[in-house]
Structure 1
Amino acid sequence: MKQKKLLVTFALGLCALTAAHAQDNEFDLGSQRSEVQLVNPVPGKKIDHQGLVINPTPRYVKLTGEGTVDISGGIKLEQPMPARKLFWDYWRDIDFLSRADKGFPMKIQLAKIPVIMDKGDQNSGTADGGYTLRITKKGITLQAFDDLGVFYGIQTLRQIMENPSVEGGKKLPCLEINDAPVFPYRGVVEGFYGTPWSHAVRLSLIDFYGKYKMNTYIYGPKDDPYHSSPNWRLPYPENEMKDIKELVAACKKNRVDFVWAIHPGKDIKWNEEDYQNLLHKLELMYQNGVQSFAIFFDDISGEGTNPNRQVELLNRLTKEFVKTKRDVAPLIICPTDYSKLWAKAGEDGPLSIYGKTLDPSVRVFWTGDVVCSDVTKSTLDWVDSRIKRPAFFWWNYAVTDYVRNLILQGPVYGLETSLTNNDMCGLVSNPMEHGEASKLSLYSVADYTWNPSVYNPIDSWERGLEVMMPRAKDAYRTFAIHSADTETGYRRDESWETETFRLTDYTLAKRDNLYKEFERVAKAPAEIEAGCTDELLIKELRPWLTEFAKLGERGKKAIELMDLYRSGDNLKFWSSYVKSRMSLEDKNAYEAHKSGTMKLQPFYDFAMEDLGDAFYEKLSGEKAFTLRGIGSYKSLKTTQAGLMLDGDSTTHYTSGVAQKAGDWMGVALPEPMSVREVHVLQGRNSKDDCDFYDHATLEYSVDGKTWQPMLADMKNRYDILWQGEPVQARYIRLRRLDSERTNWAAIRSFVVTPAGVASLEFANSKAEANDVLRAFDHQPVTSFKNTGEVSFEVPSGMTSYIFLLSLPEGGSVRVCQYDKRNKLKAEMTSSEPFFTIDVAKKVTRIALIGKAEVFEIIPKK
């Protein structure tokens, strides 16, 4: 057969593909993000509560030392309550207690009482939710000024009875609790983008709010069409209104304010018709039991952002709707300028206009310095001075609408504990679209918002794990501690008890400790499935648990590969190495439901990279050509940098923080070499993306200190290609020049082509030349799939070739050697993925025949 000879460039890097599609969202929230990529450690420590766990942590609790009282015979009402509220009305709330005519005495009293706190101060007993609970040898006494305080005292008693030390609710400790919340508003805003919660999950969550003394549920899912444009003017269909009425009833039962929010700003017209449309919609909701309302003007553009019009609307609604009804709570607004990042600071700014003209009863939302940020006094001082009232904090945690492939189960922190109701009127958490899995973070949100001064993030998280999954706490903890970080944006600490290592840092002690942790990871999902009694929760967790088990097995295998590599058994090592690689399907499945992103998966990725490079160097005596991400962003030191080096332009590396003067992104080559081409694709797409350097220069350096330009003063270039006379380089970078842009920065592809040409001759192969060259690119982690025959010239002086392959089950390949007259000089068949052939005399061409994934063909002189 006639051979086709093709001369191809030996490109050490991967070719760019077509550009990724443009962003679909009309309002690009990503353009306004500016979280700092700091991963602060979780504060606090686990505490021994000696068998008495109460959440939220009471302001004052004291065991009196009188021992315990036996209530196994039930309780008896000793004294009826005042006529305005009969004790019997609370039996539904005290369904965990049995009634008996000769039971243990109990009193519930509505009265004005002082609430003594832990620092010796006295808060008025008229404060909403304040109560005292005393358990003595003589009986149980619960005192509160209002119904809310009674309900909260009952929840505390319920939790006391659920403690293991209470012996199944039979013996209660003698104690005294004086308690009241610090912040008036404590709860949840269902305000995320993505799939709204199901009705069953919402009902489950409302019971959870009540049990842990949260009093606010704001219904405002972005993807509810009757909450937002274009259907905010229309009434809910009958079946959806029925569900809302059930939510309202559930909230009343749990003493939670159901706040219905409307989001009209995208298309509102500032005229009488739309005012009446809005008023009519609120009236319809009121007739169906809603008594609290919020108006959202977030994430919009155009006329709806006008603060003067917003104030006019809110003031008129307050006068004509809220105050007229008398039983409607003050309005809540989410302003367009809800973050310091883009809020206009001056006297003419929207927030200052609110402060001057907005009815003082209206509560104003605030997300902090950026969209997702810590709750600090400095950010509250900034906004409070403008809006002239304590802000209402909308905390964007544990929301994952910007990282929907993650499920956040880590501790709740970043909340300043010195804050009072003079700093903010309250806080609501915007959780994940996975409502049941959000309960773990909400448990701690309830703890913080009730009593911030003693909030202990680690201890609260540990207690929450026990509440969420008492029969599988240890397994759930293993999953949760490795499912905490966001990778980008609002970073959270993860895997803080786990130490990983690189191949060069291998020690037996490190190896054994990490292997044991991966064993726990691999076993945890099955233990959670067996021990979790919450079907709604396990349904949400299951996709992540499936991938978590695989991650555990991957980590174990990577450590076993390190052992094999160190043993020196090349065949056994390589055979196991190729079987331990993640397939494209594996990678896609993991990307869809990620965990262990900070340490566990990076350990596997780095281990496979290190082992491949080390094995190649061991066999060839040369360094593998592995590009390494470098730059001014911390995340370039992680495996995230690989997203610009993976040959797939539909994936991208992103800085995760706002670009600023002096920022740069680039690659380090394994050693100085002659480079003749560099191709960079900026941004998430090459059309209209905002995450790129709009003014930049492409530079190279040998020492990393002195830089020379390749392309200077580029403006608005997504696709950057440099070709020219070869230059000697070890480092290549794209550096930001003067610009007003503060978006993130992203790169889809960074390809470096050294000077040099390789000559390949191949026949009966469908593989493209660049694919075939992956077998000769000095990168053992790249490969091409041979389906027929591929042949290559043998330069003079070559004595042998090492083949690194992956074969199908039961498969084999033939290697044929030919002289210049195309006469067969030698032939062999191998069913092993690793083998060496000696070059026969006068051979000028070698052919590899058979189905195989070819990683590297290493020539030896």
Structure 2
Amino acid sequence: MRKYVAVGSKILRTYMKQKRLFVTFAVGLCTLTAAQAQDNEFDLGSQRSEVQLVNPVPGKKMDHHGLVINPTPRYMKLAGEKTVDISGGIRTVVPKHDSERPYDDDLDFLPLLNVRSPHYKQGFPLRAAYGKMPSVNGVENVPGAYILQITPSGIDISGFDDTGVFYAIQTLRQIMENPSVEGGKKLPCIKIMDAPVFPYRGVVEGFYGTPWSHAVRLSLIDFYGRYKLNTYIYGPKDDPYHSSPNWRLPYPEREQKNIKELVDACKRNRVDFVWAIHPGKDIKWNEEDYQNLVRKFDLMYADGVRSFAIFFDDIEGEGTNPDRQVELLNRLTKEFVKAKGDVSPLIICPTDYSRLWAKPGEDGPLSIYGRTLDPSVRVFWTGDVVCSDVTKSTLDWVDSRIKRPALFWWNYAVTDYVRNLILQGPVYGLDTSLTDRDMCGLVSNPMEHGEASKLSLYSVADYTWNPKDYNPIDSWERGLEVMMPRAKEAYRTFAIHSADTETGYRRDESWETETFRLADYTKEKRDRLYEEFERVAKAPAEIEAGCTDTLLIKELRPWLTEFGKLGERGRKAIELMDLYRSGDAAAFWKAYVQNRMTPAEEKAYETHKSGTMKLQPFYACAMADLADAFYEQQSGEKAFTLHGIGTYRSLATTQSRLMLDGDSTTFYTSGESQKAGDWMGVALPEAMAVREVHILQGRNSKDDCDFYDHAALECSVDGKTWQPLLSDMRSRYDVLWKAVEPVEMRYIRLRRLDSERTNWASIRSFVVTPAAGASLAFGGDAAASDGVLLAFDHRPCTAFKNTGAVSFEVPHGTTSYTFLLSLPEGGSVSLRQYDRRNRLKAETSYSEPFFAAAVAKGAARIELVGKSEVYEIIPKRK
């Protein structure tokens, strides 16, 4: 799992002719700023972001009547309301069988009586056994199966094996923790018969990015045991001793000691520690490297590792040879696994781990595995694409080739392709009809934030144990309570708004929240959303006060900080709607500029995002709608605001603004493969004559692949009938159309023509230049900046930063100007008016960001002096 990262390019495009600090421009321009192109580098996006659909979360919250057990048992029956009193303590009874052993270390949550206690014989008996079933029959013939029965005569646990007894104890622990047991004094009379469906249930630490700390790994292993996950695959991509260049070398002493501690922790929790190696980048298919591999396995074996995996994912070159891979795995199976006698079957991650690019025929690597790979070897599979749902159809496809049930590597809740997000939403997209005949198990590849991944792993444990009864919403609700019992509601508020990936494997988010646009404002909608933003604003402090997991709060804190700010911004945006509707222009604009995000605030939010599906888009749309409406109110004209349109769903979201933000280092990307009939474009506010369209395709202009390599530029007045502007363009990053005579249009699109390309499609900038507009001359020490145009571009969302003085000519017939500014705290500006002989006609100071100024008699030029951001200067004419 990898992607190509390309940081786009900014192209300096100046629509000015400079002469002695004076420039001429056409009103209505959408300008770009300067930057430099950068090359691609190998990374994750091209593989983890192929899917754009956002499916709703299934299931519903259930009433468990005070008795919550996870994973959900396959059979559970309460004996009415009968209970047993254990307040006098518990005495463990050890059956006299060789296969049994005392479990006191695992029962530390019970009031155990010491055998020397004078009250020992009066204690409530607990009997635990496995193998010969002395008291209870009917345990399923499956590793990990158990029966737990609580009756007036005692607590009886029977397991298929030692792990089964341990799992029964974990179920008993959860019963003890439920409110219905009255503080651990009374237990319900109950019978639970349980067994897992899938043999492999767990976690692969297989992401790119910062590997988990030792403390987090130990914490997670205890979590696995508690919720009956039995597999932990150690394979962090950025561990150099797991992968190239050091896979042949032994771990340094400290790292080796840590791994041994992990192995010991796994044994206590009945978890298989699987050590994985990733040698394919530079492996030599010779005897020397085979012995290097065996030597590394022997070192791990000496520290207690009894399960191994070999990854051949995300590599190129000779390491991808499936015949060589099979030869290696078969020899290791014979000479290492079977020779040792106590080593589990090997696991392989193939190079073709996704149907998206797997070669389907008989000569494909997966079919070669099916014919020649030792039947005991487990084979990983990620689904139809790298991050995708677990479906029967994808498993049927791969199983028919590898000739065995696949082991599903589920790339959720991994965020190495969206590292600015932290996923806390429900776990869904898992077929609940699957059995061990379809797949031998599932391991989740979580986030690099291990503690925050526990919420999803709680539900992964639920699903992999008992898929038939899996209820995504209910499992998520229960997981929230487990993760943060003292701040569940605040944590739920954060989690429900921190679920979507924005691109790729989309997850539903904010499904209980209804947002609206300015035009759809009603008091009922306003009040409901305002209350939700208040909850968002308060949630971080409530979580900080109520979360007792120091490792978790450390991981969440950067996102919580930005989440609280988002709540404040959203609440103020609603208050701005109220203020706009009140008609107080000066008060509105002052509050408006105060609620705009500064570049530093935008950077902080982009680094730790949440609320991407509804909350932040509401804020962004509200601020844009308010600016446009206010501009129209003040000028009597529509703002020149472009809106993204096209065949990709994400064009209807705020993501499309990345091609309209005047910054070509940012780019809109489709997030899904381009196909026949696709197009991307913009809608103008109304039909108008246009003299120029300039589009920068791709994420850069050097060697990017995310663009239409065969395209046509077209326009339309009604959105139905299209006429060509440029036809049959091939391999053009830079698309520029200039009219001999302006053309009337309202919609403009770049349409994909015949092509074999299936990459995404990206646009860095989409610039439209209307034909209308007068020319102005600028002067002053700031006039040389192309940004000065932003003060007259009819777009109140853009701003020119005036650091000194800027002047502009006053066209004949102009009677006044309205200024929309932002001033530094305590700052002010001066407005000076000069006649054609450069004589000062009037000077006024303003300390408010909104003001109107009449043009002095005889004034031909106005100069604005003082530090300010100038959003728009609106002329009023006779």
Specify if TM > 0.5.
Answer: yes
Q: Is this contact kept in 1: 2:94–2:100, CA < 8 A?
A: no
Secondary structure of the corresponding residue to residue 615 of structure 1: helix
Matches within 5 A, 1:833-848: 833-848=849-864
Alignment partner, residue 809 of structure 1: 825
Distance 1:762 1:788, change over 3 A: farther
Distance 1:520 1:213, change over 3 A: same
Secondary structure of the corresponding residue to residue 732 of structure 1: strand
The C-alpha deviation readout for 1:75-95, integer Å capped at 9, x for no partner, is 1134524123322xx111111
Structure 1 Cα separation of the partners of residues 335 and 22 of structure 2: 85
One-letter amino acid matched to 1:402: Y
Whether 2:341 is the aligned partner of 1:329: answer no
Alignment partner, residue 504 of structure 1: 519
Alignment partner, residue 7 of structure 1: 24
One-letter amino acid matched to 2:141: T
Distance 1:108 1:849, change over 3 A: same
Distance 1:640 1:395, change over 3 A: same
Distance 1:261 1:757, change over 3 A: same
Matches within 5 A, 1:483-502: 483-502=498-517
Structure 1 Cα separation of the partners of residues 58 and 710 of structure 2: 41
The C-alpha deviation readout for 1:463-500, integer Å capped at 9, x for no partner, is 00000000000000000000000000000000000000
Quick one: which of 402, 412, 424 aligns to 2:427?
412
Aligned-pair distance for 1:276? 1.2
Matches within 5 A, 1:559-598: 559-598=574-613
Matches within 5 A, 1:239-250: 239-250=254-265
Aligned-pair distance for 1:9? 4.0
One-letter amino acid matched to 1:17: A
Structure 2 Cα separation of the partners of residues 81 and 858 of structure 1: 93
Distance 1:78 1:232, change over 3 A: closer
Whether 2:321 is the aligned partner of 1:301: answer no
Alignment partner, residue 662 of structure 1: 677
The C-alpha deviation readout for 1:412-455, integer Å capped at 9, x for no partner, is 00000000000000000000000000000000000000000000
Alignment partner, residue 93 of structure 1: 106
The C-alpha deviation readout for 1:115-153, integer Å capped at 9, x for no partner, is 99xxxxx98633100100000111110011210110000
One-letter amino acid matched to 2:110: L
Deviates more, 1:192-201 or 1:850-859: 850-859
Structure 2 Cα separation of the partners of residues 360 and 857 of structure 1: 75
Secondary structure of the corresponding residue to residue 315 of structure 1: helix
Whether 2:802 is the aligned partner of 1:786: answer yes
One-letter amino acid matched to 1:97: L
Secondary structure of the corresponding residue to residue 472 of structure 1: helix
Quick one: which of 513, 528, 532 aligns to 1:513?
528
Structure 2 Cα separation of the partners of residues 431 and 417 of structure 1: 21
Structure 2 Cα separation of the partners of residues 370 and 182 of structure 1: 25
Structure 2 Cα separation of the partners of residues 112 and 636 of structure 1: 64
Quick one: which of 785, 790, 798 aligns to 2:814?
798
Alignment partner, residue 103 of structure 1: 123
Alignment partner, residue 126 of structure 1: 141
Whether 2:222 is the aligned partner of 1:207: answer yes
Aligned-pair distance for 1:652? 1.2
Whether 2:492 is the aligned partner of 1:477: answer yes
One-letter amino acid matched to 2:106: D
Whether 2:22 is the aligned partner of 1:22: answer no
Quick one: which of 630, 655, 661 aligns to 2:645?
630
Q: Is this contact kept in 1: 2:821–2:849, CA < 8 A?
A: yes
Aligned-pair distance for 1:849? 1.9
Aligned-pair distance for 1:113? 5.8
| 5+ residue gaps, structure 1 | 117-121
Aligned-pair distance for 1:341? 0.5
Alignment partner, residue 8 of structure 2: none
The C-alpha deviation readout for 1:215-247, integer Å capped at 9, x for no partner, is 000000000001111111111111110000000
Alignment partner, residue 705 of structure 2: 690
Distance 1:66 1:109, change over 3 A: farther
Structure 1 Cα separation of the partners of residues 435 and 100 of structure 2: 32
Structure 2 Cα separation of the partners of residues 324 and 733 of structure 1: 65
Structure 1 Cα separation of the partners of residues 175 and 522 of structure 2: 47
Alignment partner, residue 838 of structure 2: 822
Whether 2:544 is the aligned partner of 1:524: answer no
Whether 2:720 is the aligned partner of 1:700: answer no
Distance 1:576 1:109, change over 3 A: same
Structure 1 Cα separation of the partners of residues 775 and 141 of structure 2: 88
Alignment partner, residue 82 of structure 1: 97
Deviates more, 1:696-705 or 1:544-553: 696-705
Size of the aligned set, in residue pairs, is 851
Quick one: which of 269, 287, 309 aligns to 2:302?
287
Distance 1:309 1:4, change over 3 A: closer
Structure 1 Cα separation of the partners of residues 414 and 382 of structure 2: 13
Aligned-pair distance for 1:823? 2.6
The C-alpha deviation readout for 1:366-412, integer Å capped at 9, x for no partner, is 00000000000011011101111000000000000000000000000
Structure 2 Cα separation of the partners of residues 518 and 667 of structure 1: 31
One-letter amino acid matched to 1:23: N
Whether 2:266 is the aligned partner of 1:251: answer yes
Quick one: which of 780, 788, 793 aligns to 1:772?
788
The C-alpha deviation readout for 1:148-170, integer Å capped at 9, x for no partner, is 11000000000100111112211
Alignment partner, residue 135 of structure 1: 150
Alignment partner, residue 473 of structure 2: 458
Secondary structure of the corresponding residue to residue 107 of structure 2: coil
Q: Is this contact kept in 2: 1:113–1:125, CA < 8 A?
A: no
Q: Is this contact kept in 2: 1:217–1:257, CA < 8 A?
A: yes
Aligned-pair distance for 1:693? 1.4
Structure 1 Cα separation of the partners of residues 292 and 110 of structure 2: 48
Distance 1:562 1:296, change over 3 A: same
Aligned-pair distance for 1:757? 5.6
Alignment partner, residue 290 of structure 2: 275
Whether 2:601 is the aligned partner of 1:601: answer no
Structure 1 Cα separation of the partners of residues 94 and 236 of structure 2: 46
Alignment partner, residue 6 of structure 2: none
Aligned-pair distance for 1:708? 2.2
Structure 2 Cα separation of the partners of residues 30 and 557 of structure 1: 35
Alignment partner, residue 372 of structure 1: 387
Q: Is this contact kept in 1: 2:831–2:843, CA < 8 A?
A: yes
Secondary structure of the corresponding residue to residue 92 of structure 1: helix
Aligned-pair distance for 1:852? 1.6
Aligned-pair distance for 1:815? 1.6
Secondary structure of the corresponding residue to residue 293 of structure 1: strand
Structure 1 Cα separation of the partners of residues 21 and 161 of structure 2: 91
TM-score, length-normalised on structure 2? Answer: 0.95
Secondary structure of the corresponding residue to residue 312 of structure 1: helix
Q: Is this contact kept in 2: 1:293–1:332, CA < 8 A?
A: yes
Aligned-pair distance for 1:695? 1.5
Secondary structure of the corresponding residue to residue 508 of structure 2: coil
The C-alpha deviation readout for 1:637-680, integer Å capped at 9, x for no partner, is 00010111111122111111111111111111111222222221
Structure 1 Cα separation of the partners of residues 343 and 416 of structure 2: 31
Alignment partner, residue 642 of structure 1: 657
Structure 2 Cα separation of the partners of residues 166 and 808 of structure 1: 61
Alignment partner, residue 119 of structure 1: none
Secondary structure of the corresponding residue to residue 597 of structure 1: coil
Secondary structure of the corresponding residue to residue 41 of structure 2: coil
Distance 1:672 1:39, change over 3 A: same
Alignment partner, residue 858 of structure 1: 874
Aligned-pair distance for 1:551? 0.3
Aligned-pair distance for 1:5? 3.6
Structure 1 Cα separation of the partners of residues 821 and 694 of structure 2: 29
What is the RMSD computed on CA atoms of the aligned residues?
1.7
Q: Is this contact kept in 2: 1:19–1:649, CA < 8 A?
A: no
The C-alpha deviation readout for 1:324-382, integer Å capped at 9, x for no partner, is 00100000000011001011111111111111111000000000000000000011011
Distance 1:553 1:81, change over 3 A: farther
Structure 2 Cα separation of the partners of residues 14 and 144 of structure 1: 71
